[in-house]
A and B are shown apart, each in its own frame.
Chain A
């Protein structure tokens, strides 16, 4: 599998100037709204600490809480399935659908099903799937993955949406009026709710003590999908567990404030039992999570509640777009999760960061994201997954910088303008510095030379 080239992809993203500017501004706007909402809660930092502690407690007692959830959910009348990996998940979902002669599935937003690549799997088996979240639907119709875990089509301008809808659901491609586009999509999607034999949701939280799960949405689509058909399937990652309902208060207060800068999502639905005469199935999915839980430096990433705040604040994400990461999870959280799925393929992603740490500071569950990015770089280097040019540059830099004599020769040459930058910086394809930036002017001497001339007598 070829490596994702984030730098190359970001270059293309930036070339589309209007799109790039809009993307950066739109997401920065979400970050600012998040600041305003969090400022309104004097206990914000306390909530972050609580949320982190609850998640760490749950993750370190996960097996117990999962079994408690299963017992209580089963008592409530749900059917609980366990999926070791993506393949098992997809097969379980397909088997449930087949057993109910279901051929049409209305589906609300779920990053987990994207992670499992469920849609192509079911497509190939004759299941018609309709994404009902507006952003996800736009992406489905355009045959693109979501570029953001909360706002999946944020990289598109409304003109792009008009083009996609014009091509796929017959709207006027020249009409990019937002209410027109949104209403057209609703009108197009509504009949599917009535026709579908099954509805699917993800879950934001699953509660062990009640055997219930919670879905937070803004469009009402998840509730239509869950309540109109007689079969509701929920795909839930095993890290979504919380011990008790009372813990929910901490997370519900932070989720939408962090994500969109709104106090709460429009709809917070608690699913506890199937309606009479219908079925409710829960698929608990591992897909690498247990393995991640065993990784000393990286298990904290499982605390993630998928709010996207780290993406909104990330200056690199905002300027390169989610698709440039070439993976289900993009932005800072993606950078630390993706290598657990495929180290080689995603080996460039931990370098798509300036290590500025803003992600860590906004994270509502206090994941040390930028420290994990730093740590991944070491693992990528240790496992020989660095590009040859970087590896060689660092080897040479390490040699020069550990030798006072070689260092002085290099720095004096640089200062004298023989080379415009220290050799470790210019080593190879790095005329990159000068593409959009001037190089520093050559000073009259190095600091060391000045020192020897002016203060040398003290030595």
Chain B
């Protein structure tokens, strides 16, 4: 199966290891992975600020870069959510609609499209707090939310549950937002930082050694908080754990 890899700008710049793990993991499952070299961003930072006209050219570039692919995979829930549900600054041609429909966050691609459940090479002998970003949780609906009365499901947990030695711990406020929120993190810095510090404290209290997440932007924020507070918490992306990282 041919797959195009979209590596979001902040992953490209700060967390290349997450892009590498995503690429290798897809290859383990026999995907032929392309990385279109002119890719930049999905347009989310501008669109989330209401600036549709500033988002236009970036969204158009995204659509051009990925028009040739039936499967577009990204290790970032909020980017996938933006492309699928909010990429409306550009004209909705048939090609654009196809690119939007074909874009998946990594976990849902593995879980829903490839239908994989086993990761025999993976072992992660640690206590893990799972953080599912809000766009992944309530936008992509990768897990049931605590507010909704429905049968529980959790795709990231289901995949991570197949990893040897991995043990989940439950924070008090399992799906409370961590306060990253894109530009919210800087324009509403006081509340954003408070939410982040509360979040990592909750995970630590639950006994987590690692916070594992399909959302590296949340992690960038939470890790920044934990480091500043001097907390003994480590952070890692779902892709790295599923690809066999031991620590």
Contacts and interface: CB of A to CB of B under 8 A. Distances in A.
B189 A435 contact: yes
B227 to A, nearest CB: 4
Interface string B4-44: 00010111111111111001000000000001011111010
B79 interface: no
B224 interface: yes
Interface in B54-84: 54-58, 60-61
B225 A351 contact: no
Residue with the highest number of chain A CB atoms closer than 10 Å, among B45, B134, B147, B192: B147
B20 A38 contact: no
Contacts of B43: 401
Given A402-B61, A430-B186, A437 B225 contact: yes
B175 to A, nearest CB: 8
Interface string A363-392: 000000000001011111110001000110
A450 B40 contact: no
A144 interface: no
Given A353-B184, A362-B147, A374-B48, A448 B37 contact: yes
A316 interface: yes
Contacts of B49: 351, 377, 381, 386, 390, 394
Interface string B141-171: 0000111111000000000000000000000
A183 to B, nearest CB: 35
B207 to A, nearest CB: 21
A350 B179 CA distance: 15
A35 B147 contact: yes
B177 interface: yes
Nearest to A394: B51
A443 B46 CA distance: 26
A140 interface: no
> Do most interface residues of chain A lie in helix, strand or loop, or is the interface mixed?
helix
A394 B187 CA distance: 13
A415 interface: yes
A399 B51 CA distance: 12
A459 B37 contact: yes
Interface string A426-456: 0001101101111111111111111110010
B223 A440 contact: yes
A315 to B, nearest CB: 5
B191 A381 contact: no
B196 interface: yes
B244 interface: no
Contacts of A313: 147
A437 B50 contact: no
B50 A377 contact: yes
A210 interface: no
Contact of A353 (B12, B19, B181, B220): B181
B45 A394 contact: yes
A7 B188 contact: yes
> Do most interface residues of chain B lie in helix, strand or loop, or is the interface mixed?
helix
A390 B187 contact: yes
B191 A355 contact: no
Contact of A411 (B12, B46, B54, B145): B12
B187 A401 contact: no
Contacts, number: 237
Contact of B86 (A11, A20, A24, A374): A374
A383 to B, nearest CB: 10
Nearest to B177: A356
A422 B8 CA distance: 12
A249 B195 CA distance: 38
B187 A440 contact: no
A365 B28 CA distance: 46
B70 to A, nearest CB: 18
A109 to B, nearest CB: 26
A45 B177 CA distance: 22
A443 to B, nearest CB: 5
A437 B221 contact: yes
B191 A10 contact: yes
A379 B195 CA distance: 27
Given A354-B179, A386-B50, A433-B189, A446 B41 contact: no
A455 B181 CA distance: 33
A391 B187 CA distance: 12
Contact of A404 (B14, B40, B185): B40
Residue with the highest number of chain A CB atoms closer than 10 Å, among B12, B13, B15, B182: B13
A315 B228 CA distance: 21
Nearest to A316: B191
Contacts of A440: 14-15, 220, 223-224
A104 B139 CA distance: 52
Interface string A327-368: 000000000000000000000001111111110111000000
B100 interface: no
Contact of A401 (B45, B50, B147): B45
Contact of A319 (B48, B57, B134, B195): B195
Contacts of B125: none
B138 interface: yes
Contacts of B246: none
B191 A398 contact: no
A288 to B, nearest CB: 22
A397 B45 contact: yes
Sort A-B residue pairs by CB-CB distance and give the 5 closest, nearest first: A377-B50, A354-B181, A437-B224, A398-B54, A402-B57
Given A357-B137, A395-B51, A407-B41, 20 more contacts: A45-B149, A45-B150, A319-B194, A320-B190, A355-B135, A358-B134, A358-B175, A394-B54, A398-B51, A404-B38, A404-B61, A411-B12, A415-B13, A425-B186, A429-B186, A437-B196, A438-B223, A438-B227, A447-B16, A452-B37
Interface of B: 7, 9-20, 23, 35, 37-41, 43, 45-46, 48-58, 60-61, 86, 134-135, 137-139, 145-150, 173, 175-177, 179-198, 220-221, 223-225, 227-228
10 contacts: A10-B191, A350-B50, A354-B179, A356-B134, A357-B138, A357-B145, A394-B46, A398-B46, A398-B54, A433-B189
Interface of A: 6-7, 10-11, 14, 20, 24, 28, 35, 38-39, 41-42, 44-45, 313, 315-316, 319-320, 350-358, 360-362, 374, 376-382, 386, 390-391, 393-395, 397-399, 401-404, 407, 411-412, 414-415, 422, 424-425, 429-430, 432-433, 435-452, 455, 459
